[in-house]
Amino acid sequence: MQPPAWASPSRDRYRFVKTLIAFMLFVSFAFWALAGALPSRNATHEPLRFTKDGSFQISIFEDLHFGENAWEAWGPAQDANTTVVMNRILDNESQQLVVLNGDLVTGENTFFENSTHYIDRVVAPLVSRNLPWASTYGNHDSQYNLSGQALLAREQRFPNARTTQMVPSEDNGATNYYLPIYSSNCNSHHSCPPALLLWFFDSRGGFQPRQQSPNALDTTPLGRPNWVSPAVASWFSRTSSALHKTHNRTIPSLAFVHIPTHASLAFQSSSPGPDPRLNPGINDDVPLAAQADGWCADGSEGCAYGGNDQPFMDALAATPGLIAVFSGHDHGISWCQKWRSEGSYGSAGAGAGVNLCFGQRSGYGGYGSWARGSRQVFVSEEGLAAGEVESWVRLERGEVVGRVGLNATFGRDAYEEVPDWRSRGVEEGYYFEGEEGA
């Protein structure tokens, strides 16, 4: 791996490669600009609505990890494979919205001059299909040469980007906001209550952009807290309550956050933990990495877990109408759980039946060789009345696995087990870990 610019005493030897990469990305950006794909960030958005048949489908792409090792052949090859995955899934599904749920870019491998340009590659399949999208940012999206604010500014140059910032201050992260979805029979969103709310949270993590350790002898970047800020948790509770009060009803909702809370770790660590029939999905990251891992209660690094995600868990558990929370981050996990009383992580035992789901790692960057894919979330207006949604995973070669109903009996209903397939590339087929020649 190339040493990042902030740490390398011999950066000159990479200057030619850096310049070439920056030029290629500039040409890519110029193409989109000339094609009219990047109008003003102030473009007016049409409200998101259920279709005429009363449905709304979301495709979740997570851990795409564009931009790894662009100076070697395998880096751009990974990005090309990831684009193929996205195109295949989008062509096989009927989504009204795409959620990019964190780690869009491997920011530690990018230069300050071109870090945000990878967004153009990330969203190209969405732009070509005129699909709206909304993002959360992950730990790899905040690095010495990359900031969430810069990513957000780049995203908002595209007319279909719904990603925004409703909680000020970079300290809270850049992607804390909500999107209302209106009924199919709502003629004017000004006079109709939302039929569904989508909440997006920035779980932060990674490193502080352009900041190094205060220790003069330590040139590493400064670490960044890896949990949803308590200020954001408070904003979420206040805003959700205000919306319910304004519209005089409990509005069903879904939430998206890159790093899972410790409620997921509590479930995984409980006995018997995820059941392959009751919680279909892979469970290979053991123990999983959750919010506040490695941090102390006082906000310093060096502890196993300081409970810093407790305010966020409290807010989730107390939110009326919240049906499910979708996370990524752990590439080797793709199950869902019914958050009830597992474990001993404070509010991890008070989830009031909220469903906690992992997606499917979508990109060819990052660690692991699990089959790539995308979790689908299908919502019907009829199902919302009972607090139900349907979900499944569409894999890179077209297979559908892990179909579940996130309803009152989820966690007791039995489903088909999910094969733990691995993949060398989108054209290479699947194999199981340990197979001869794997």
Sequence ranges of the domains in the chain? 11-432
Burial of residue 152 (number of CB atoms within 10 Å: 0-12, 13-18, 19+): buried
In a 10 Å sphere around its CB, with 0-12 CB exposed, 13-18 middle and 19+ buried, how is residue 75 labelled?
A: buried
Smallest Cα–Cα separation from 237: which of 307, 318, 171, 169?
318
CATH topology of domain 11-432: Purple Acid Phosphatase; chain A, domain 2 (3.60.21)
Specify the pLDDT at position 113.
82
CB 421 within 8 A of CB 402: no
Q: Which residue's entry shows tokens 């920056």?
A: 22
Residue from 324, 330, 338, 353 nearest 278 by CA: 338
The predicted model scores a pTM of 0.89
Say how far apart CA 291 and CA 306 lie, in whole Å: 10
Closest by alpha carbon to 300, among 203, 220, 223? 223
Gap between the Cα atoms of 419 and 422, Å rounded: 9
DSSP state of 116: G
In the three-class reduction of DSSP (H, G, I as helix; E, B as strand; rest coil), residue 319 is classed as coil
Hey, what are 72's tokens? 């070697």
> Could you give the CA distance from residue 44 to residue 55 in angstroms, rounded to a whole number?
24
Strand partners, 354: 339
57 CB-contact burial (10 Å; exposed 0-12 / middle 13-18 / buried 19+): middle
* Residue 205 token pair: 């993590």
Of the candidates 122, 125, 83, 87, the one whose C-alpha atom is nearest the C-alpha of residue 105 is: 122
Report yes or no: 345 and 309 within 8 Å, Cβ to Cβ.
no
Please enumerate in sequence order all residues whose Cβ is within 8 A of that of 153, keeping only pairs 6 or more positions apart, or say none: 41, 116
Residue 408 is predicted with a pLDDT of 93
End-to-end CA distance of the chain: give it in Å, rounded.
24
| Angle made by CA atoms 374, 394, 251, in degrees to the nearest 5 | 60
Distance between CA 404 and CA 390 in Å, rounded?
6
Which pLDDT score, from 0 to 100, does residue 111 have? 86
3-state secondary structure string across 51-95: CCCCEEEEEEEECCCECCCCCCCHHHHHHHHHHHHHHHHHHHCCC
Q: Would you give per-residue pLDDT tens digits along the chain (438 residues)?
A: 333 443 333 334 444 444 444 444 444 444 333 333 333 344 478 899 999 999 999 999 999 999 999 999 999 999 999 999 999 999 999 999 999 999 999 999 988 888 899 999 999 999 999 999 999 999 999 998 999 999 999 999 999 999 999 999 889 999 999 999 999 999 877 789 999 999 999 999 999 987 777 775 666 788 899 999 999 999 999 999 999 999 999 999 999 999 999 999 999 999 899 999 999 999 999 999 999 999 999 999 999 999 999 999 999 999 999 999 999 999 999 999 999 865 545 555 566 789 999 999 999 999 999 999 999 999 999 999 999 999 999 999 999 999 999 999 999 999 999 999 999 999 888 999 877 544
Give how far Cα 47 sits from Cα of 191, 296, 383, Å: 13, 42, 21
d(CA 226, CA 205): 4
pLDDT at 26: 42
Query: CA 340 to CA 354: how far, in whole Å?
Result: 8
Cβ within 8 Å of residue 244, ≥6 positions away? 250, 251, 320, 321
